[in-house]
Structure 1
Amino acid sequence: MGILGEIVRKPDEIYPLLKLKMAVKKAKKQVPPEPHWGFCYSTLHKVSKSFSLVIQQLGTELRNAVCVFYLILRALDTIEDDTSIQPDVKLPILIAFHHHISERGTNEYRVLMDQFRHVSAAFLELEKGYQEAVEDITKRMGAGMAKFICQELALLNLLRCNPLPHPPRMKCPNENYCSIHFVETVDDYDEYCHYAAGLVGLGLSKLFLISQLEVMTPDWEQLSNSMGLFLQKTNIIRDYIEDINEIPKPRMFWPCEIWGKYVDKLEDLKSEENSSKAVQCLNDMVTNALVHIEDCMKYMDALRDPAIFRLCAIPQIMAIGTLALCYNNAQVFRGVVKIRPGLTAKIVNHGKTMADVYGAFYDFSCMLKAKVDKNCPNSSSTLTRLEAVQKVCRDSGVLHKRKSYIRDEVKSNRLMCG
């Protein structure tokens, strides 16, 4: 359905869309005049419009720290994601990257970002505490990414040295397309997501603490990690088709422990003839992600600063909405599914209080619950986790304050792609 058709079908989304568009334009005009800061904020707008908006609402000191932190980790992630870079080249870059984020004029990582020197210059203007936190998380993330690349290389070498018989789940049809899986178990999956996103949650919490705008609960590290894992797992589920079709080599993050119950190879989920099994596997993956929701709500409920709250809450609401869209949806194996722009605009516009969060999580979980097929092998676990989420939301005592925009989606049980 085209944009005009969406407007006709959902006229109530016109105002939120216009408001979001105006906010994006305003944010672009607020780019600092200094070349290095101008580069940082302009780049932030390009790589993540919605995230840049909520960052812009932070106080200047924290806003600059979060902006630089995001760009440095985005740069590191770009290296890790680039399948055209040979592992023997990639490994030392990932491991040593944290040493170079403070070097003015560094040209060593042009493969990552031609003008990274601007990010380095901005980094050097941050308060020392922010610098130390950013460098520590960058170091830990680079080391974690390198660890999984080493595991992948070890499996490749094993296959080359012992081509017959292949180890279980590791089939190597040729040198250019090797369907090995370095994320074997659910524990591997959690560890990978920790390095890819859990550390981002930990890093942001550290920045909030340094700013003195937040005072974290004793279990803040666990809760911060869960915030990152929930977002990362949602992205991995949603991006199946993009990752599996990556050239020159597929990127495979779904754990063998889950997909191995349904198919022989992860790429088999794309096949039409495996549609039923693929959807069951997808539902299993969504159920795995749901386990983090209670931690996420607990983390957000403890936040005090309104701008920090929005920075954390809006992505989380988008995540539960995306999982509700993906669940039991074979389209995940045909193309990337996304919440339509109009609903995204409403979430950005209304995600301001914990009542909004509880309401959104409750209503999206109701939508997801309505899609559960009792014949699905994992349906009992799915329902148990959803009911636990709904209980927390009900116990908050604020569901009567929730906005109606999500309840409309629940009633129609439709969440159309944009």
Structure 2
Amino acid sequence: MIRYVSTYKMVCVFYLVLRALDTVEDDTSIPTDEKVPILIAFHRHIYDTDWHYSCGTKEYKILMDQFHHVSAAFLELEKGYQEAIEEITRRMGAGMAKFICQEVETVDDYDEYCHYVAGLVGLGLSKLFLAAGSEVLTPDWEAISNSMGLFLQKTNIIRDYLEDINEIPKSRMFWPREIWGKYADKLEDLKYEENTNKSVQCLNEMVTNALMHIEDCLKYMVSLRDPSIFRFCAIPQIMAIGTLALCYNNEQVFRGVVKLRRGLTAKVIDRTKTMADVYGAFYDFSCMLKTKVDKNDPNASKTLNRLEAVQKLCRDAGVLQNRKSYVNDKGQPNSVFIIMVVILLAIVFAYLRAN
């Protein structure tokens, strides 16, 4: 029990440190000559319980204003955990600073940026799991940990196009010019309705690029032993493939918010317990995405090849039989849910009778 509490605490501190670092990067109102030194030195600030920097909005501003609580919790961790968190924070801050000063031009730049802001999170978590003795990973754990982060980050970048491009006072542009330059003169042109056909083709190429990381993600998850860590890692990955399936060939990405329905999200959280559940979810969502592929899309062949490779991996695992579909199955209401509804109705009727 003590080991689990320790693992949860270090993961929580790790998340809050990186969330604070990300808040500095995300705040486009901070001048570059002020932001870059903070990003580069952030790994040292986490040792200073007197340090704070007011930026961000809402809950993120609260985090930054009260960062001393995070520093205090960080200093309570074992030395090995502190060193692992410091190293990842240092590398991430330096990478963020690099891309504050340059745009994402090539697909290699895109992969590098995603490595700094998300791949390193995967690496850091794996190091913490290993240090805690919770996991014994495969020899290629660094590469596949990186892929776990890249898959999530690329999904977020695709989904958040409109929010990022409309950011005030300055747009945030993470889609690589090497991809969007085939379809538009300027990245912001993709949001205009008159460019819908080209915009959707660009979107589809971005989704296809993200699909390349799935094999590594499945390999990473199948290596996990601890059930809690497995669910912690698996649920976001399933949400990502589901989001990509929703975004693919969907012009709504350029018009507003695209996200999974709450009911489907709840279903993913409730059902994801074993690797069989992961294979089932990836198979279902890849099938859903496959039905949306337009044979006239310039990247249709590549998209289909990657989806078929994912489906083969899931079939070869031999666990797809006798399962409920994440996409089509409506599922049976949970008994607890039914009881709660009955109680709520009873309260409502009692209130109505009293009034």
Fold in common (TM above 0.5):
yes
1:404 Cα shift? 2.7
Distance across 2 between alignment mates of 1:387 and 1:70 = 34
Bigger shift: 98-107 or 373-382?
Answer: 98-107
Of residues 82, 85, 95, the one that matches 1:131 is 82
Q: How many residues align?
A: 321
Q: Which residue of 2 aligns with 1:226?
A: 147
In structure 2, C-alpha distance between the alignment counterparts of 1:63 and 1:386, rounded to whole Å: 35
Alignment check: 8 A CA contact 1:193 1:233 kept: yes
1:110 aligned to 2:54? yes
1:74 paired with 2:74, answer: no
2:250 is matched with which residue? 329
1:121 maps onto 2:95 in alignment:
no
Report SS of the residue matched to 2:135: coil
8 Å CA contact retained: 2:284, 2:326: no
Aligned residue for 1:404? 325
Kindly state the Cα deviation for residue 150 of structure 1 after the two structures are TM-superposed.
2.4
Shift of residue 105 of structure 1? Answer: 2.3
Aligned match for 1:89, one of 19, 25, 34: 34
Amino acid at match of 2:37: P
Supply the distance in 1 between the matched residues of 2:325 and 2:297 (Cα, whole angstroms): 30
Q: Which residue of 2 aligns with 1:308?
A: 229
Cα offsets for 1:258-277 (capped at 9, x unmatched):
01111111101011110011
**For residues 252 and 137 of structure 2, what CA distance do their matches in structure 1 show?**
40
2:176 to 255, 260, 267: 255
Q: Any gaps of 5 or more consecutive residues in structure 2?
A: 56-60, 331-355
Q: Which amino acid aligns with 1:110?
A: S
Could you tell me how far apart the structure 2 residues matched to 1:199 and 1:295 are?
A: 15
Shift of the 135–319 alpha-carbon distance from structure 1 to 2, 3 Å rule, reads same
Q: Report the equivalent of 1:354.
A: 275
2:349 maps to none
Distance in 2 between the 1:326 and 1:192 partners?
Answer: 22
Q: After superposition, where does 1:264-413 map in structure 2 within 5 Å?
A: 264-408=185-329
Number of the residue aligned with 2:94: 143
CA contact (8 A) 2:271 2:277 kept: yes
Measure, in 2, the Cα distance between the counterparts of 1:264 and 1:408: 43
- Corresponding letter in the other structure for 1:101: I
In structure 2, distance between residues paired with 1:195 and 1:359: 30
- Deviation of 1:401 (Å): 4.6
Letter in 2 for 1:90: K
* Alignment-mate amino acid for residue 220 of structure 2: Y
> Given that residues 227 and 296 in structure 1 are in contact (C-alpha distance below 8 angstroms), is that contact kept between their aligned partners in structure 2?
yes
CA contact (8 A) 2:183 2:198 kept: yes
CA distance in 2, matches of 1:241, 1:145: 21
Distance 1:402 1:368 in 2: 20
Question: C-alpha offsets along residues 169-228 of structure 1, whole Å, 9 cap, x if unaligned?
Answer: xxxxxxxxxxxxx10100000000000100000000001001101001000000000000
Contact 1:363 1:406 in 2 (8 A): yes
- Does the 8 Å contact 2:283/2:311 carry over to 1? yes
1:103, CA displacement in angstroms?
Answer: 1.2
C-alpha contact (below 8 Å) 1:360/1:402 kept by paired residues? no
Q: 1:240, 1:336 within 8 Å by CA — same for their partners in 2?
A: no
* Deviant stretches of 4+, over 3 Å: none
**C-alpha distance in 2, partners of 1:140/1:405?**
38
Residues 162 and 256 of structure 2 are in contact (CA less than 8 Å); yes or no, is this contact kept in structure 1? yes
Partners of 1:68 and 1:401 lie apart in 2 by 40
The answer to whether the Cα contact below 8 Å between 1:324 and 1:368 also exists between their aligned partners in 2 is yes
